[in-house]
Amino acid sequence: MKACALTAPRRLDIIDWPDPAIREPQDVLLRIESVGVCGSDIHYYVEGRIGSQVVEYPYLVGHESAATVIETGPAVTRVKPGDRVAVEPAIHCGDCDQCRAGRPHTCRRLRFLGCPGQIDGCLCERIVMPEACCYPIGPATTFDRAALAEPLSIGIYAARLGQARPGLRAAILGAGPIGLCTLLASRAEGLDSFFVSEPIPERRALAERAGASCTADPYGEDLLAAVSADTPELLDLVFECSGKQEAFDDGVRLLKPGGLFVLIGIPTEDRIHFSMDELRRRELTLQNVRRQNACMRPALDLIEQDRVDIGLLQTHSFPFGRTREAFDLVADYGEGVMKAMIHVGPDA
């Protein structure tokens, strides 16, 4: 089959790749239709690594996908050939302490699509996944929208860890795809006061359409003055979705005593600094978010019931043969891009 592989830093080529095959009774052979380009894919594309996870070339990234079922193993009951599905990219063992504690997302033997050292990604024509990772979608749901369930699931999980609810005052720092998904998911939970900090004007405009009450450019405006003009006691909740040191500093400044700082962005650097004095005096809580836990079905429900405007997320789409252009566009923040989708299969 054909795959679009990372072959060197900032290089993607369509090459021949071994065909996947069903090996376990619960396996499902899928034809990939639509793949979203994620910020983490871009880290592997540009830097060749995220922290300790380093790419060995050639390698396939891609983990936000929707697909058509081609063939199923003998034990599969959840889907059948021809079904259209959203794909959960994480395969957990079901057996370790984390899985048994209801934390499959931090499974000791987790294998995640397009995560170096684990399994290949889905920027290819076909993959095999266990049936537990296949979520059937309705006929009215496009493959693009179904593929967006994966980033939305992270927003839902972040909103849950942030205990998003009506009456809170929140900020979102960084209105990229994950920031926007966190905003959409928190709004679905009833939270309706969002200050959004984002340097790119097109992204601020999208955040406003998604329901931001106020937006600002963190490099051109005084965020503390902007927030305290409206909310002098400062914020209950901040979602960090940019991974930038400046945003971590902003978040600490914008929280009221007892506030909750939810950390979702992936920093390029290995270390981020906090003022321990600030954290301690105002007794702030830091909450890390590791992808998502059991939020794929809730994400698809929000999308399929039109309870979030997921269409705001997708700004671009590219045929499979132009995947590299999509990656360059996202890497360079060109054309006001939010989410670029790659149409791999014939039905996307």
Binding residues for Zn ion, rule: CB under 5 A, are 38, 92-93, 96, 99, 107
CB of 318 to Zn ion, least distance (A): 17
DSSP 269: S
Residues 6+ apart with CB under 8 A from 147: 34, 35, 36, 64, 65, 66, 86, 87, 341
Residues 6+ apart with CB under 8 A from 56: 116
Q: Which is nearer to Zn ion, 92 or 204 (CB)?
A: 92
Distance, in Å, from the CA atom of 242 to the CA atom of 264, rounded to the nearest integer, reads: 8
CB of 84 to Zn ion, least distance (A): 20
CB of 96 to Zn ion, least distance (A): 3
CB of 203 to Zn ion, least distance (A): 17
Q: Which is nearer to Zn ion, 262 or 284 (CB)?
A: 262
CB of 38 to Zn ion, least distance (A): 3
- What is the distance of C-alpha 314 from the center of its chain? 13
Q: Which is nearer to Zn ion, 99 or 234 (CB)?
A: 99
Say if residue 181 is exposed, middle or buried (CB neighbours under 10 Å; 0-12, 13-18, 19+): buried
Q: Which is nearer to Zn ion, 99 or 262 (CB)?
A: 99
Peptide bond before residue 58 is cis, with ω within 30 degrees of 0:
yes
Q: Which is nearer to Zn ion, 149 or 254 (CB)?
A: 149
CB of 154 to Zn ion, least distance (A): 7
Distance, in Å, from the CA atom of 320 to the CA atom of 136, rounded to the nearest integer, reads: 23
CB of 44 to Zn ion, least distance (A): 11
Using the CB atoms, write b or e for 30-51: b if 16+ within 10 Å: bbbbbbbbbbbbbbbbbebebe
Q: Do 15 and 122 touch, CB atoms closer than 8 A?
A: no
Q: What Rg do the C-alpha atoms of the chain give, in angstroms?
A: 20
Q: Which is nearer to Zn ion, 64 or 83 (CB)?
A: 64
Q: Which is nearer to Zn ion, 254 or 263 (CB)?
A: 263
Say if residue 84 is exposed, middle or buried (CB neighbours under 10 Å; 0-12, 13-18, 19+): buried
